[in-house]
Amino acid sequence: MGHHLSANGQSGEFQFGGHWKKEFPFDAEWLNLNHGSFGSIPNVVRDKLRHFQDEAEARPDKFIRYDFPKLLDESRAAIAELVRAPVETVVMVSNATEGVNTVLKNLVWNDDGKDVIFTFSTVYEACAKVADYLVDFYDGKTEHREIAIRYPLEDEAIVDAFRTAVKEVEAAGKRARVCIFDVVSSRPGVAFPYLDMIKACKELGVISMVDGAQGVGMVPLDLERADPDFFVSNCHKWLHVPRGCAVFYVPLRNQHLLPSTLATSHGYMPRLATRGSPLPPNGKGAFVANFEFVGTKDNGPYLCVKEAIAWRQNALGGEEKILSYLWDLNKKGIQHVAGVLGTEVLDNSKGTMTNCAMGNVALPIWIGEKGQGAKDGDVVVPVDDQETAFQWMSRTMVDDYKTFMSLFVLGNRYWIRISAQVYLDMKDYELAGTVLKDLSARVGKREYRKA
């Protein structure tokens, strides 16, 4: 494995691309085009995970009580440096959904029923359901409002839609309390103007809950400068850390708002009782101490953050090289696939929506009737068959083509999301185009009805 790295394919220099697949534990037949859903880890990080698991089994009490907290602090320090945040503001949780739950289930909601939680229509469904749960649990004490956005869209229009929604809520005598929004949305997989949204939230007095599930390892982060109220980002997606692991950032000013972890554990300080803890004292601040131990589980992934960051630096040449390659491959790759299919990619006039490592391509398959820009050879799936065809396409990619690309519906059309990664190159996008062309033709023959 060479160390003179190049993302741009200059002759004589090391390149990213298909030959990196052997550094990952992929099945030789599997083409991993959906890194954005569950991530993947290089063999060296997998070996480190197994090492920590073995250590925990060899001397459970020694490792869990005494070694683990120090190793966790090393990983926290490594990720804090990467996302440019003070180490005392950074803890680890299992995933982004847990981070969002931790915030929304700790916040105190007003009894007057005027608190409103905002999400956008492109919100990750699990996070929207956290807001739905609060509405149900408090039986109308809070309200969940969705801000409808329809892509393609300029970044300014998204922020304007938020401002308008806040004005409407306040005009109705209600209180704009929290807004959940992405760094990079899931479906469609597009960069979201999260920095401008954080500023707008500050200006309007709304708590910013940034769901950076797709974030660290794919876009550059400077959390101290961005200054969100709460921010969570999955390390197991783009940072090559084992599942599940997410960095949870809470600035000092807001840490008192989160008295409990999920689940509530030894770090909780009850107001009306004094209880000890069976764990050794650690002398850390209340926030960090609270999140250090949340019941017994395999915390090996948390300890691999330091290792994954080091591997990205030493083997891949560092974050800047990685991000440059991912963004470039994403933009070029989806254009190629769209060309093969005779369709289009999802982007706005400034190209900011594809400033990330995931891209979206329209399939030549419509629902109900053809829409604007349809070609003669495009396929139409009857409305009643929409879900059947959707599930058949998803399963058939796995079973027949040994790959998977995230499928979603936008307007009355099927779209596909493809994830760039250091182990992919244009040959993989060429294969993706071939697979999708063949799959679309099979949908045209109504094969999904025979399944």
Peptide bond into 86 cis (omega under 30): no
Q: What pLDDT is attached to residue 6?
A: 41
pLDDT of residue 5: 40
- Site of tokens 């060296």: 44
How many CB atoms are closer than 10 A to CB 126? Answer: 15
d(CA 406, CA 391): 11
Every domain of the chain and the residues it spans: 54-308, 321-449
User: What is the Cα–Cα distance from 114 to 368, expressed in whole angstroms?
Assistant: 40
Q: How far, in Å, CA of 448 to CA of 355, rounded? A: 35
Residue in this structure with the two tokens 């050794």, named with its chain if needed: 280
- Bridge partners (DSSP) of residue 211 are 182, 232
Residue whose C-alpha is closest to residue 429's, from 41, 8, 31: 31
- pLDDT attached to residue 75: 98
- The pLDDT of residue 323 is 97
CATH number, span 54-308? 3.40.640.10
Helices 305-314 and 43-58: crossing angle, nearest 10°?
Answer: 150
Within this chain, domains 54-308 and 321-449 share the same CATH topology: no
By CB neighbour count within 10 A (0-12 exposed, 13-18 middle, 19+ buried), where does 355 fall? middle
Closest C-alpha to 424, from 27, 20, 12, 36: 20
User: Which CA distances in Å does 19 have to 14, 23, 141, 152, 213?
Assistant: 11, 8, 55, 35, 28
The list of the chain residues with pLDDT below 50 reads: 1-13
For residues 344 and 328, give the distance between their C-alpha atoms in angstroms, rounded to a whole number: 17
Who's near 144: CB < 8 A, 6+ residues apart?
116, 117, 119, 128, 131, 132, 134, 135
Distances (CA, A) of 44 to 18, 240, 333: 18, 10, 28
SS (H, E, C) 281-341: CCCCCHHHHHHHCCCCCCCHHHHCHHHHHHHHHHCCCCHHHHHHHHHHHHHHHHHHHHHHH
Residue with tokens 């440059």: 324
Just give the CATH number of 321-449. 3.90.1150.10
Instruction: Report long-range pairs for 80-87 (Cβ below 8 Å, ≥24 apart).
Output: 82/216, 82/221, 82/309, 82/319, 83/216, 83/221, 83/222, 83/223, 83/233, 83/247, 83/249, 84/221, 84/222, 84/223, 84/224, 84/225, 85/223, 85/224, 85/249, 86/224, 86/252
Encode pLDDT of 236-289 as tens digits: 999 999 999 999 999 999 999 999 999 998 988 888 888 888 888 888 999 999
Over residues 423-444, the pLDDT tens digits come to 999 999 999 999 999 999 999 9
**What pLDDT does residue 14 have?**
57
The pLDDT value recorded for residue 9 is: 42
Phi, psi at 286, each rounded to 5°: -60, -40
Query: How far apart are the two ends of the chain, measured CA to CA in Å?
Result: 45
Q: Are 164 and 191 in contact (CB under 8 A)?
A: no
Residue found by looking up tokens 């002398």 in the block: 283
Q: Which two tokens stand for residue 217?
A: 């390892």
